[in-house]
Amino acid sequence: MQSALKLTDVGLDDSLALLASIRTCHERLAVEIDNMESLTQEAKLDMLRLSSVRWRLSQASLARRTLSSRICDQVRPLLAATDLANIKQLQEADRALARESANHVGRWSAGSIEERWADYCEASREMRRKMAIHLELEEKLLFPILARLAQHRR
């Protein structure tokens, strides 16, 4: 599933639509994080369900990351120094999270998950915690910028 909004479809005059779209990505990702949380609370591994939940979580994360990156790149020329520093911090944090996520997925093959389900559940919990922290950072740094741009353009 692609994000609800493409930057090519919306100019910066419609910053509220961009804000709504990134919020939708956040909501979708939060649902998938919750789904993984629920699954990893199970005592026994359901590999078919895990594969499905893991894939949906990855897709939701990718959609959010892609849209966030495009928004940051698009608004960068319009920003003052403080907001530019915030966008840089956000993008660096996002790249670090992407690396951690890739390492997590690479470390936990189907076989290793089957062999060490409880350990996987703990590692997954830690990865989801990091994802939630990043969502909060994005809400703190990017959302206000988009809201201000929308106000400024009215």
Q: CB-side exposure of 84: number of CA atoms within 13 Å?
A: 6
pTM to 2 decimal places: 0.87
Residue 9: its H or E element: none
Residue-range definition of the domain harbouring residue 123: 10-152
129: burial class by Cβ within 10 Å (0-12, 13-18, 19+)?
exposed
**1 falls within a domain:** no
pLDDT in tens, 7-29: 443 455 578 899 999 999 999 99
State how far the alpha carbon of 110 is from the alpha carbons of 1, 73, 104, 114, in Å: 24, 36, 12, 6
**97 falls within a domain:** yes
**146 falls within a domain:** yes
pLDDT in tens, 84-128: 999 999 999 999 999 999 999 999 999 999 999 999 999 999 999
User: In degrees to the nearest 10, what's the CA dihedral of 131, 95, 103, 138?
Assistant: 0
- Counting the structural domains of the chain, the total is 1
